[in-house]
Structure 1
């Protein structure tokens, strides 16, 4: 496989696992979507110049204990895996190769049908042709291939895959968030070491950040990411991912994926209930 494709296969895994069922076991400020540093002092990845919506509830809700928030999140993720039949969304992908100053921006329509179908419709592209052909197009194909072969259970944020350590509470955009350190139990492609942030009132996943623990290629040195989520029509879906990779041949690669105008498709009630009973 082309070495560039190997880089973006991992990046695609980060975003697609989350998009399907919020099982990504892969920031929010009111002015910049990735503007705040980790509560433990670790700097976040560079901010993207994208305005962030304020998802804070208008009326404060009672705060959950950390253990209850984590348990609630895991239950929500499991239910969503059964209840989400698909979705459509607009996607903007921005890619940059800083070492060569090449960049590109691709706007597309994204259509997902559970569990293994993902298609894209091109809307417009601006930038270098090399980036479109060798970076973004490969990323999109990697996403499609990943969805076709995906095993959500292998990368879900569950005790079978991760160790969780509670680290405290932070306040972001008027929301109280519990944050946890997560460490994978195995060094497996698709898992990461880092932090997750849960809404202290609802248990919703708000943010995940860290480094992928296993690269699929010796030519890729590291992959770091920050991903933000929002609750949309009862489903928790990824709205932005910022990721950086470093490869032996192409140097730094920076990718931002923004999803907006989601239209989730709930599964029929009878079908979801039957699936949940197994």
Structure 2
């Protein structure tokens, strides 16, 4: 009986090792992410979408909501137009405009390379595999090589088939303000047709005075026009979109 148990455990260990041996190395994953970007960045010329921002602070019973349309150009730069606002006046006057202004600035071609999840900006470590929306993903820890305002420290989930980022979770590499104690966020992406597109952002900011404030951003109503033909595979998905 003991021999049977030992043989069974040995078989399990060998099977697990076989699976591990079949996994790509972390440098291969990152290289394929970069290749994916380079080959298919031109597949999406531009897109428009709608976003719903909801800011809540339960301690102070504050809530504000904003609906905006966003247009993302081929170079990744963005333009925003506010459709409607409601709720807490302080958020509408100060917080929402600052969010849009910051993202507009970060999307400019001269700034975008500072925020990209690449070997130039990050060190990577393989953690494990996971399943997101019934798709296999490689989970990598990312550590910024510098501490500029655009970088983050945390974890990414890379789709094992498309090598597109499906999820990012972490915190800013640089504290944005003395008045902020901590920030934790989760960004998710979903495959829409042949493109991976932002689906939602969830962040909780702990401030020294106001306590916890939650920001939720939902993305919907995508219009992808026009699609360019990839040189190799026709209209295809592109990880570039996750950086737009």
CA separation of 1:208 and 1:117: change in aligned 2, threshold 3 A: closer
Find the aligned partners of 2:230 and 2:168 in 1 and give their Cα distance.
32
Spell out the pairing of 1:115-264 with structure 2 (5 A cutoff): 115=75, 117-148=77-108, 150-264=110-224
Find the aligned partners of 1:121 and 1:249 in 2 and give their Cα distance.
31
Find the aligned partners of 2:127 and 2:187 in 1 and give their Cα distance.
19
The reply to whether residue 97 of structure 1 matches residue 57 of structure 2 is: yes
Structure 1 gaps of 5+ residues are: 1-62, 272-278
Find the aligned partners of 2:76 and 2:63 in 1 and give their Cα distance.
30
Cα distance per residue 1:1-23 (max 9 Å; x no partner): xxxxxxxxxxxxxxxxxxxxxxx
| TM-score using structure 1 length | 0.66
Whether the 8 Å CA contact 1:95–1:135 is kept in 2: the answer is no
Structure 1 residue 195: deviation in Å?
Answer: 0.6
Find the aligned partners of 2:160 and 2:218 in 1 and give their Cα distance.
25
Whether the 8 Å CA contact 2:39–2:230 is kept in 1: the answer is no
Partner residue, 1:65: 24
Matched residue pairs, number? 209
Q: What is the root-mean-square deviation in Å for CA atoms of aligned residues?
A: 2.6
Cα distance per residue 1:239-276 (max 9 Å; x no partner): 111112223343322111111121223575599xxxxx
Structure 2 gaps of 5+ residues are: 1-21, 232-244
